[in-house]
Amino acid sequence: MSLPINLLHLADIHIGMENYGRLDSRSGLNSRVVDFLRRLSQTIDLALEREVDVCIFAGDAYKNQRPNPTFQREFSRRIKRLADAGVPVILLIGNHDMATADRAASSLDIFGVLGVAGVIVAGREEVHQLTCRRGQPLQVATVPYPQRSRLLAHDDYKNMTLEDLDLALGEIMQKNLADLAAEVQEQPDIPAVLTGHFTVSGAKQGSEQSVMIGRDVVVLKSLLADPAWDYVALGHIHKHQELNGGARPPIVYPGSLERIDFGEEGERKGFVMVELEKGRATWEFVPVEARRFVTVRLDVTGSDDPMAQILDELEEHNLTEAVVRVIIKATEAQEPLLDDKPIRQALREASYIASIARDIDRAQRHRLGGVSAEELTPRQALELYLDSKQTPESRKAELLRYADPIFREE
């Protein structure tokens, strides 16, 4: 009987994201790039401590398809640690890894060209037969990001609308998934994993919508909930989630290792460790020490000394080494008293100050009954204006009577 397989499942590293970063003097890199690299190092450290047998990286190694040589070196160095430990690594091609031009190289193809021992670059739909670190056999079916340009290379699809292309691509994916499931069932005693980089119906989106390239084809969850698979390892969506409600097989997005922006402020970040046998997969989400993103909302509208209140409340927050944004709600009369300089001084322990924004309660808003001018019809705006000028009712009625034909013409 084969030993259980300890499988590392991670995705969406996006090395090269530099938003909310600054120059790190020790490495010469952007501090956010350093964050992403540290999370990958931490992931590999923890996986090796847990005696990982195989690694599936489910796509999006870099921010884009043309990473600079330093990013490539640092990613390769970390993947090599796994390979040197005898851990086979599947590198699935995600949408940020693949070239936009047909037949151009992806950002991960260099591993395949150099024939790096123990590293498989998965750029097409196929089943890979692996021998894991402790000799266990494993089947891994790979489905890279579905790309429309692959269809446009064929004459039959060149004149299709985007909607028709999406429909055709969905039908092709459905057939490919069925064919992969049939292939792994030819060896029914060997555990089988499906890994794909795409959006699945019912998944909760995260901030990856702001960094996606193009629009997505959505794969039905029912196509993945096939008993041929013992585990489904997904990438592409940054929010960690399991989609099959605890049923077999687990259909899991590990999420990204680092936060991209404030849309991911409250999300846990990490990777997944799976204990896998034929017919059984138990998994655990393992959190990593991702950079904290913190929004501080301050309401000083009732304060006689708004700056003192702001500085006092900031002291109550643990903002050390966090990416911070501050949103201050104040009145129009208080606005001249607000000073960013002492606020920035109070935030000196933060890693990065994203913004200090002011939500000013304008007097105009009170005159308009708490709504913005854009929400009013022209007639409502005129009525409120006349009321603010204390126009007599008879005069107001007369002006509105003359104004109504003008509004109708508009």
pLDDT tens, residue by residue, 141-194: 999 998 755 655 555 655 666 676 777 777 888 899 999 999 999 999 999 999
Higher pLDDT, 113 or 308: 308
In this prediction, residue 159 carries a pLDDT of: 63
Q: HSE (CB half, 13 Å, CA atoms) of 253?
A: 25
User: Tens of pLDDT along 303-357?
Assistant: 999 999 999 999 999 999 999 999 999 999 999 999 999 999 999 999 999 999 9
In this prediction, residue 161 carries a pLDDT of: 67
- The three state secondary structure string of 299-322 is ECCCCCCHHHHHHHHHHCCCCCCC
What proportion of the chain, given as a percentage, has pLDDT over 90?
65
Quick one: DSSP state of residue 44? Answer: H
For the segment 271-298, the average pLDDT, to the nearest whole number, is 97
In this prediction, residue 208 carries a pLDDT of: 47
Statement: residue 129 has pLDDT above 80: yes
How many Å apart are CA 199 and CA 66, to the nearest integer? Answer: 23
Q: What are phi and psi of 195, to 5 degrees?
A: -125, 135
* SS3 of residue 83 by DSSP: helix
Class of domain 5-287 as given by CATH:
alpha beta
- Which of left, alpha, beta for 139 (phi over 0: left; psi -120 to 50: alpha)? beta
User: Tens of pLDDT along 27-84?
Assistant: 899 999 999 999 999 999 999 999 999 999 999 999 988 899 999 999 999 999 999 9
User: Tens of pLDDT along 227-257?
Assistant: 999 999 999 999 999 999 999 999 999 999 9
In this prediction, residue 62 carries a pLDDT of: 94
Is the distance from CB of 269 to CB of 298 less than 8 angstroms?
A: no
